[in-house]
Amino acid sequence: MDNMVEGTTTRILTATERTKLAGIEPAATADQTGAEIKALYEAEGDTNAYTDAEKTRLGHVSVTQAVDLDQMETDMALFINGGMIFKDDWDASSGSFPGGGAAQAGWQYYVSVGGTVDGVAFSAGDTIVARVDNASSTTYSPNWRKHDQTDAVQAVAGLTGSVSQAALLAALGLATTDSPQFAGVNIGHAADTTLTRIAAGRAAIEGDEIARLVATQTLTNKTLQSGSIDGATVTGVREVLSADRTYYVRTDGNDGNDGLSNSPGGAFLTLQKAFDAVAAVDLSTQSAIIQLGAGTYTSGISVNKSWVGGNLVTLKGDSTTPSNVEVATSGHAFVFSSPLACRFIFDGLKLTTSSGDGIRIDASVAVDYKNMDYGAIAGSAMHVLFPGAYLRCVGNYSISGDCQRHWNMEYNSFLRCTGYTITLTGTPNFSVAFADADLNAGMNIGGNTFTGSGTGKRYEVTLNSSMNVSGGGATYLPGNASGTTATGGEYA
């Protein structure tokens, strides 16, 4: 190499050239363009490169004055939340509008001292709002809008400040006793919109007198739902229920209670009191439940008056263990002698009597029963003797005591009990018949399952009555003696 001589096609590298060549990276190319260098630089991390796209976006921003971005953020948040931005109090007696010509649209000021600026009078308590940016400090329109208190009530019957009832009545020429009181009155008719006072103790709706208090404080002409007139409690007012109602009866209750809570201090003592409470209200479209607590009740119920309205009235004991709630009477346990406005149901009671029937229906009513335990009953467990009366079983039940007849239907009444389980315990005896239909009565009693056994005649059907057992046969009903039919009676 040291003896090489440069020729036409052969060049000798100097030491300097060899050093320069050694410093070039492998795969290096010719000089890079500016665009290539820019692209490589912007691709590197943490360079804070300012891209063309960012330059283009920034070019859209036009700022002609110094901007406080923190204040801008605060003002925008306030504006979005309320539409206006409260800035400060303003003394209108200063002679110029607030903001010094820099107030922005939506800025609001409270007038702390009244005054007149550009011919517009301001009073303390008014507010002023900028309508444009950089609102003028000397010209009102179109820069500013005033919100004053001219619509506020300044006085009532010439009285200002805190006005008492007595002062207002005196200013109106009325005495306190002249003020009619209709506390809690609910008229109950949407069209009756105007309740007025005609005279002391007298009220009218749409000019038609509806109520008058006489010396005995008795409401006449029309019955309001509840309330008082001229401070006097109105007698004979029927409450209208807006929700279902439960009355409680307990062996440690008291008929002086209201029956609305299940406690000794809230519940009634007797069933009759609970029924009377139901009859005293207007059920409207609601239901009522008379809930009996555990124990034995020795007085039954005489349902000799109907309630008003209603969807269903239930006498409920213990549906799971009916014997926990026993009604044991010396006469009829339950007597229905008045038509009822809606259906009634017995649920979860044990009935026993030393004389008389368990359930006796002598009115045009519809009565259901389920989860019952018919114990020893001197007469009939269920006795229906009124034309059109309807007795219906709606659930399983049991028979644990003797009686003359379990089902006793007369005078065009009707019984339906189909598809349930009736359990007999202790082999009860039916001294007349298990089922007795007389005087055009009807029974539809097929499809039931009787468990256990009893003694006595199975059935008796007379005087054009019918007993449908759905082909159950002559031994379908409990008993150990054959049933009989006579004078047009039919058993099938």
Q: Could you read off the pLDDT of 6-57 as tens digits, one per residue? A: 666 666 777 887 787 777 777 666 677 777 777 777 777 766 666 777 777 7
DSSP 83-112: SSEEEEEEEGGGSS-GGGG-BPTTEEEEEE
Write the single-letter amino acid at 412.
N
461 assigned to some structural domain: yes
Q: Do 127 and 158 touch, CB atoms closer than 8 A?
A: no
pLDDT at 228: 52
The answer to whether residues 465 and 351 belong to one domain is yes
pLDDT band at 226 (very low <50, low <70, confident <90, very high): very low
Overall average pLDDT of the 65-75 stretch: 66
* DSSP code at position 339: -
- Look at 357 and 152; give whichever has higher pLDDT: 357
Write the single-letter amino acid at 171.
A
Residue 337 scores a pLDDT above 90: yes
Overall average pLDDT of the 448-460 stretch: 98
147 Cβ contact list (under 8 Å, min separation 6) = 126, 127, 128, 129
pLDDT at 264: 96
pLDDT at 48: 67
The answer to whether residues 120 and 196 belong to one domain is no
DSSP 436-464: EE-SS-EEE-TT-EEES--EEB-EEEETT
Q: Could you read off the pLDDT of 260-316 as tens digits, one per residue? A: 999 999 999 999 999 999 999 999 999 999 999 999 999 988 898 888 889 899 999
The answer to whether residues 334 and 464 belong to one domain is yes
pLDDT band at 179 (very low <50, low <70, confident <90, very high): very low
Q: Could you read off the pLDDT of 100-133 as tens digits, one per residue? A: 999 998 888 989 999 999 999 998 888 899 989 9
> What is the rounded CA–CA span in Å between residue 323 and residue 437?
29
> What is the rounded CA–CA span in Å between residue 276 and residue 290?
11
pLDDT at 105: 86
Residue 189 scores a pLDDT above 60: no
Arithmetic mean of pLDDT over the chain? 83
305 assigned to some structural domain: no
The answer to whether residues 205 and 330 belong to one domain is no
Range of the domain at 413: 317-491
86 Cβ contact list (under 8 Å, min separation 6) = 78, 108, 109, 110
Only one residue has tokens 């007012």, namely 237
Overall average pLDDT of the 430-442 stretch: 96
The answer to whether residues 476 and 401 belong to one domain is yes
40 assigned to some structural domain: no
210 assigned to some structural domain: yes
Q: Could you read off the pLDDT of 72-107 as tens digits, one per residue? A: 666 665 555 445 688 889 999 999 999 999 999 888
The answer to whether residues 87 and 225 belong to one domain is no
Which of 94, 127, 147 terminates a domain? The answer is 147
Provide the CA 351 distance to its chain's centre, in angstroms.
37
Residue 161 scores a pLDDT above 90: no
306 assigned to some structural domain: no
Q: Which two tokens stand for residue 442?
A: 């009807």
Overall average pLDDT of the 164-192 stretch: 56
The answer to whether residues 181 and 136 belong to one domain is no
pLDDT band at 478 (very low <50, low <70, confident <90, very high): very high
The answer to whether residues 427 and 480 belong to one domain is yes
Q: Do 109 and 88 touch, CB atoms closer than 8 A?
A: yes
345 assigned to some structural domain: yes
pLDDT band at 349 (very low <50, low <70, confident <90, very high): very high
Q: Which of 413, 478, 407 is nearest to 436 (CA)?
A: 407
- Look at 90 and 205; give whichever has higher pLDDT: 90
User: Own/partner pairs for 229-234, CB < 8 Å, 24+ apart?
Assistant: 229/180, 229/181, 229/182, 229/185, 229/201, 229/203, 230/180, 230/181, 230/200, 230/201, 231/181, 232/201
296 assigned to some structural domain: no
The answer to whether residues 327 and 437 belong to one domain is yes
**Range in 148-157, 169-178, 187-196, 411-420 with the lowest mean pLDDT:** 187-196
Which of 130, 147, 164 terminates a domain? The answer is 147
pLDDT at 365: 93
For the chain, the domain total comes to 3
Overall average pLDDT of the 248-255 stretch: 97
Residue 149 scores a pLDDT above 60: yes
> What is the rounded CA–CA span in Å between residue 248 and residue 271?
9
Q: Do 449 and 469 touch, CB atoms closer than 8 A?
A: no
Q: Please report, to the nearest 10 degrees, the dihedral formed by the alpha carbons of residues 317, 397, 361, 410 taken in order.
A: 180
The answer to whether residues 327 and 380 belong to one domain is yes
pTM, to two decimals: 0.56
Which of 205, 233, 261 terminates a domain? The answer is 233
pLDDT at 153: 58
Neighbours of 449 (CB within 10 A): 10
User: Own/partner pairs for 106-109, CB < 8 Å, 24+ apart?
Assistant: 106/79, 106/130, 107/135, 108/84
32 assigned to some structural domain: no
Neighbours of 321 (CB within 10 A): 13
The answer to whether residues 88 and 183 belong to one domain is no
> What is the rounded CA–CA span in Å between residue 461 and residue 235?
52
Task: Answer whether the bond into residue 142 is a cis peptide, omega within 30°.
Answer: yes
> What is the rounded CA–CA span in Å between residue 388 and residue 386?
6
Cα angle for residues 460, 465, 469 (degrees, 5° grid): 65
**Range in 49-58, 427-436, 447-456 with the lowest mean pLDDT:** 49-58
Overall average pLDDT of the 314-331 stretch: 96
Write the single-letter amino acid at 296.
T
**Range in 109-118, 205-214, 302-311, 461-470 with the lowest mean pLDDT:** 205-214
The answer to whether residues 181 and 111 belong to one domain is no
